[in-house]
Structure 1
Amino acid sequence: MAISPKIYTFGCGCFAALGASIFGYDLSVISSVFTAPDFIELTDIASNPTYQGFIVSSMLLGAFVGSIPASLVADLFSRRTSLTCAGVIFLLGGALQTGAQSRGMMLAGRFFAGFAIGGLGTLVPLYQSEIAHPSQRGRIMATFQFFLGLGSFIATWIAYACAKYQYGTALQWRLPIGLQMLPAVPLVFLTFLLPESPRWLMLKHRDAEAIKVLAKLHARGNESDSFVQAEYASMKRQVEEEAGVDTTWKALYSSVLNLRKVLLGVILQFSVQMTGVGVIQYYSVSIYTSVGYKGSQTLLIQAINNLFGLLAEVACILFLDKTGRRGPLIWCNVIGGICFAAATPLVRKFTFGTGTKADGLGFLAVTFLFNIVFSYGIGPLSWVYPTEIMNTGIRAKGSALTAMASWIANFMMGEIAPTAFAQVSWRFYIVFCVCCFTNALVIYLLFPETKNRTLEEMDDYFRRGNWVVIRDKDMLRSAEDPERRFTSDDSAPAVLPVADDDKHASGHLEIA
């Protein structure tokens, strides 16, 4: 069946993003599990609120530990193989959680599931960035956050149904926990159908396979296509340049260029968690209860909130490659700060017993708005930006390191949140308000625009740009569509005499 190359590549990116749905599902399902009487009795979390923090953070600790091994497997054995391995490990963790007979068994299952999620958080954006056409790289990589949101959306409705119809039984929490394993099954058994990353093939000197995959992804198999030839030549040149350069872990901090990129990725990933998004997801039931809602109402509210987030993520996929990276990151953080500035006094009223129904509705409105702007311009870009700015030699390692910043920040927030809510109550929201505004300022000062730039030109772009980007106008502008640049520039690199096939008129879908 004939299919557009961009649709084919987008489909491959979506399949890989099934790994993100696992993380999203876990984010939402665990808050409902904490309300199940059978789970409370089994794990004895009521006797010590710290236990609840341990159960949340054990997954995040596993994710932190799993990031680097995933990058090693990706570099040694291929991007596809590493995705399959992560799926297998997640099935183990999911099975342990579903069949848990004690708090220890639950913690072990959470850790193994987290180990796999940490790997997928590195591997999915890595794979997506390396197969994507530059003009749709943002769109493809934004599917990570969309599938994360989709998993969260599905989890909340399943949890709501189980709480409503299986309340008090083991099924109330075991069924939602068990269903999280479903997306891992195709990752384990069908990932081999995806094309391998052409950039990984180039690193392994499998040039003939690399250009064949590039042609399949971008030109319906036409290896003589001008864009394919130009992209191949650019990749070849970078691999040859990197052959004489250190690409070990030491290269991440021994090179000023690489260090800058890693710092930007770490800052971005850490800043995302400091907006409070993880706290709201993990403890949504407790949070909505604190502003006057009870029982299954809290699960229904979270399910509706996730629906709004999902729609915002669709909008991100549609518009990210038009709007660029800087604008959404800056303005969505600003709006997030405003949301928490409005939410804080509302929560304070409930703390002192003066909150009204209107105050509760107002709190829902601002948290819904925060979720919309986060899902549109913060969450998706935290996976897009750090991966796309790395060069091929360090991309897996750099992506792992920046993802680790996300997991450790998430771990920290998940661990301290129960104590913070108990000790400082409504004041905890002030932290999120301040962090949103400082995030916007840091991004405004330090983060260059990367829209429409190929992965291979990022090094030169960052090398000649100022660290304080507002002093360099070139770093604030989007590049022209690279396909237009390559096909219109007489000096564009070429490996063989090529004939343009702009219409890509022939070819059929092949899966390899």
Structure 2
Amino acid sequence: MTLPPKVYTFLCGCFAALGSITYGYDLGVIAGVIVAPAFLNRMDNPSADYTGFIVSSMLLGALCGSVPAALVADKFSRRAAILAFAIVFLLGGSLQTGAMNRGMMLAGRFFAGLGIGGLTVLAPLYQSEIAHPSIRGRLTTLQQFFLGIGALLASFVVYGCTRNYPGTVFEWRFPLALQLSPAVPLAGLIFLFPESPRWLVAHGREDDARRSLARLHASGDETDVFVVSQLAEIKVAVQEERRQTAKWSRFVTDKQAFRKVMIGIILQFSVQMTGVSAIQYFAPAIFKGFGFGTEQTLLLQSINSIIAIIGEISCIVFVDRLGRRLPLIWCNMAVGSTFIVVIILQALFPPTDAGVFNVGAGRTFVAMTWIFNFFFSAGIGPLSFAIPVEILSTDLRAKGSALAAMSCWISNFMIGQITPKALATSQWRYYLLFAICGFTNALTFWAILPETKGRSLEEMDMYFEETPWLVLGKTGKIKQKDAEDRLRQGIVAGGAAGGAQGQWGDEESAGDHAGEIKKSATGDVGVNTLDA
């Protein structure tokens, strides 16, 4: 039975997101591993600083993996890059599992980070380039959903090993070994899936691109109007891009490219300033401040992971209806509010000198972490991956996504390094940083982020040209399926190369100011300009 095109494309996006499980699993597993007695003994009881470096060395590797992932993806294809970085991750995971000393552990963490850094750039890149316009948000937010699945698996695996195998080597080696499992099918099967049609067109392989589009969007029918229209639109966009340099320097010399990549960098940096990594990496130490032991913390974090999955599913379901701006703004305000409550709790109900904790404060704290995780997973985390890949043009998409990802890893590394000391010295005052940043994040995106819902990737350049840098809460709205309906009618946004103008106004007709596809009996396509 042939799957409906959108279902097939969605499943392709799910497969690419297997790489995201590796990142989520690492986030969830390392908090339990670094407190396991057998692990500490094998690592010669590292100091707090060294433990922080074990955690953050993965992030250093991820930072180093981002740019090479973009280079490989642009040179050898999106699928080839996914294969390469899945193999690198398998190397790093194997080294961690068999680590006999600190050096081997750090090497494993670094190489696993290289793989994770590459895969977190490549998965949304690939997903965005194969998606129907009306479900692009659904596909690109799969990254966070599968990240959540990885974190959920890790939390239950760590809890089970801590409870049933305390003090044994199995307690920490098995959780680390299990991280290899999603990367194996990803590496082995990725070439069974369609290549990015946009990459194929950019490399002069138009026949392959037509077949890929037909496979993705028309159950293999290469004469389908949607396929023909989309191919023509991609060709027009690529021809325009070829008039400009695709070098890294363009992010400095081209003001719109600079603007787009800065939105991505600011967005990824803002994610870490919500406090999410501090909670994930150092949950036992944070929960200890409210009287929870390690085993209790791991159980609560397992429940937290389930709540995160619910939030991520909510994002996938509603992102293409609600758009990107409002969920990002409101979710940042929500997570900032939870930290305000946590600050009040720790300031008013500190443990007594005898080590007695206020039970009510502890329960409220747990509730706040769950609320935090829901709103983070329903908007902030997923959209941080979705937005950069959809606002950049094909020639700059991989490079710009890599630069945005580097911002994520640098800020993540910073949080991983300073959190142990900050918790020990500043306690609840450290959380003021995250409370304030939640609201400043919301204000920033209200001011600078245009709404991108419903537009095709090829429309983004013209849309940004016509949108002010400071949108200040006002941005053009279009219907969820506007671009898709236009393509199904054979209407193509021609851009400069097609001699046509885009359609950006509130609920404007898809046919206004566009180029129309005319398909001859031989399948040749031309772009004709329609007068306004």
CA contact (8 A) 1:450 1:478 kept: no
In structure 2, stretches of 5+ residues that fail to align are: 492-510, 524-532
Aligned to 2:235: 236
CA contact (8 A) 1:229 1:495 kept: no
The one-character-per-residue Cα deviations of 1:57-103 (angstroms, maximum 9, x if unpaired) are: 10000000000001111011110010011111011101110011111
1:267 matched to 2:266: yes
**How far 1:254 sits from its partner (Å)?**
1.1
* Paired AA for residue 516 in structure 2: P
* CA gap 1:498/1:142 in 2 versus in 1, 3 angstroms: farther
* Paired AA for residue 322 in structure 1: R
1:440 matched to 2:463: no
Instruction: Kindly report which structure 2 residues correspond to 1:177-216, keeping only aligned pairs within 5 A, or say none.
Output: 177-216=176-215
Percent identity over paired residues: 50
C-alpha separation between the residues in 1 aligned to 2:163 and 2:35? 12
* Paired AA for residue 485 in structure 2: R
Aligned to 1:17: 17
Aligned to 1:374: 376
How high is the TM-score relative to the length of structure 1? 0.95
CA contact (8 A) 2:454 2:478 kept: no
* Paired AA for residue 283 in structure 2: S
C-alpha separation between the residues in 1 aligned to 2:182 and 2:517? 41
Instruction: Kindly report which structure 2 residues correspond to 1:463-478, keeping only aligned pairs within 5 A, or say none.
Output: 463-470=465-472, 472-474=474-476
**RCO greater where, 1 or 2, for CA within 8 Å and sep 6 or more?**
1
Aligned to 2:115: 116
The one-character-per-residue Cα deviations of 1:347-373 (angstroms, maximum 9, x if unpaired) are: 234545374111000000011000000
Aligned to 2:27: 27
The one-character-per-residue Cα deviations of 1:371-401 (angstroms, maximum 9, x if unpaired) are: 0000001000000001110000110100100
Q: Structure 1: which 4+ aligned runs deviate by more than 6 Å?
A: none
Instruction: Kindly report which structure 2 residues correspond to 1:423-438, keeping only aligned pairs within 5 A, or say none.
Output: 423-438=425-440
* Paired AA for residue 6 in structure 2: K
The residue matched to 1:494 in structure 2 has which SS?
strand
The residue matched to 1:370 in structure 2 has which SS?
helix
- Say which structure is richer in helix: 1
How high is the TM-score relative to the length of structure 2? 0.91
1:41 matched to 2:48: no
CA contact (8 A) 2:157 2:175 kept: yes
* Paired AA for residue 496 in structure 1: K
Aligned to 2:224: 225
Aligned to 1:75: 74
C-alpha separation between the residues in 2 aligned to 1:17 and 1:481? 27
The residue matched to 1:394 in structure 2 has which SS?
helix
The one-character-per-residue Cα deviations of 1:175-225 (angstroms, maximum 9, x if unpaired) are: 001100101101111111110000010011000110111111111112222
CA contact (8 A) 1:453 1:482 kept: yes
CA contact (8 A) 1:253 1:259 kept: yes
Farther-moved stretch of structure 1 (225-234 vs 465-474):
465-474
* Paired AA for residue 12 in structure 2: C
C-alpha separation between the residues in 1 aligned to 2:68 and 2:37? 37
**How far 1:311 sits from its partner (Å)?**
1.1
Aligned to 2:104: 105
Farther-moved stretch of structure 1 (485-494 vs 169-178):
485-494
Instruction: Kindly report which structure 2 residues correspond to 1:140-179, keeping only aligned pairs within 5 A, or say none.
Output: 140-179=139-178
Farther-moved stretch of structure 1 (435-444 vs 310-319):
310-319
The one-character-per-residue Cα deviations of 1:142-193 (angstroms, maximum 9, x if unpaired) are: 1110000000000000001100111000000000011001011011111111
C-alpha separation between the residues in 1 aligned to 2:50 and 2:17? 31
* CA gap 1:143/1:499 in 2 versus in 1, 3 angstroms: farther
1:303 matched to 2:291: no
**How far 1:499 sits from its partner (Å)?**
12
1:59 matched to 2:58: yes
The one-character-per-residue Cα deviations of 1:200-259 (angstroms, maximum 9, x if unpaired) are: 100110001101111111111122222212211110001111112111111122100100
The residue matched to 1:19 in structure 2 has which SS?
helix
* Paired AA for residue 244 in structure 2: V
Aligned to 1:508: none
**How far 1:472 sits from its partner (Å)?**
4.9
C-alpha separation between the residues in 2 aligned to 1:324 and 1:297? 38
The number of residues matched between the two structures is: 498
**Cα root mean square deviation, aligned:** 1.6
Instruction: Kindly report which structure 2 residues correspond to 1:406-425, keeping only aligned pairs within 5 A, or say none.
Output: 406-425=408-427
* Paired AA for residue 372 in structure 2: F
Aligned to 1:481: 482
